[in-house]
Each structure stands twice: as C-alpha cells, then as structure tokens.
Structure 1
Amino acid sequence: MTYDRLVCANCAAPVNEGRCPVCRASRERMQHEGPLAGLSPVTLIALLAVLIAAVALLAHQTV
C-alpha cells in the first residue's frame, strides 16, 4: 500500500503530508521498506503477469 492513501490515527491528516511526528515516522518507514513497497497492487499484478508470460514464452521456445 502506498502512504499517499493512508490517514494518520494521531492527527487525522494524510500521512504523506507529515503533519505530526507519527505521520513523519510512518512516512519514513514506508519509504525505506524496499523497491517494490511503493508500487500499487495493480502495478505489482501487471509485473507478475509480464513475468509469467516471459517464463511461458521461454518454456515454449525450449520445447
């Protein structure tokens, strides 16, 4: 999940605005979770579909 859609339970503001220390800490943690952490679920599914198609194509060519 991306932090631009999250709402802080402490200040009720969007986390990406970083209004309070809790928002800023959550935003920092989510930015450093990994290269795929900021991608939307739709993008991850699309990447997975491309990977599966590439593997299927390679398997078909080796037969």
Structure 2
Amino acid sequence: MSCEDLVCARCAHPVAEGRCPQCRASRERMHHHGLDGMAPALVLLALMALLFLTLALKHLTGA
C-alpha cells in the first residue's frame, strides 16, 4: 500500500498531499522504511556468505 491510496482521518485529504502535520508524518514514516527493513536480511546474507567461504576454504585445504 502506498500513501497515494490513503486518506487522512484528520483533514480528509490524500496523505500523499501532506496538507496537515499528521499527513506529513505518516507520509514520512511510509517512505522512510527503506534500509531499516533490509538490515536483518543483509546481516543474515553476510553470515551465510562467511559460512560458505569458511566451508570452501576448509575443503580446499583438506582440513
């Protein structure tokens, strides 16, 4: 869902227009989630890459 689809309960205008402080805060909150939601996925991806690299090095060295 995007802010273009939402109507503010306070001013009854589309949230995308940001006419009142509540609209602007909601619009900012909806558009600010970019990297916050990806951080756990990136950490997991890095740990998996490290695990596979470790396993590959052990396989190559024969240990």
TM-score of the superposition, structure 1-length normalised? 0.52
Runs of at least 4 residues of structure 1 off by over 2 A? none
Shift of 1:33: 1.2
Unaligned runs of 5+ in 1: 36-63
Calculate percent identity across the aligned residue pairs. 69
- Where does residue 14 of structure 2 map in the other structure? 14
Whether 1:3 aligns to 2:3 is yes
Unaligned runs of 5+ in 2: 36-63
**SS of alignment partner, residue 19 of structure 2:** coil
Whether 1:26 aligns to 2:33 is no
TM-score of the superposition, structure 2-length normalised? 0.52
Distance between the aligned counterparts of 2:15 and 2:33, measured in 1? Answer: 16
Which protein shows a greater Rg? 2
Structure having greater relative contact order (Cα 8 Å, sep ≥ 6): 1
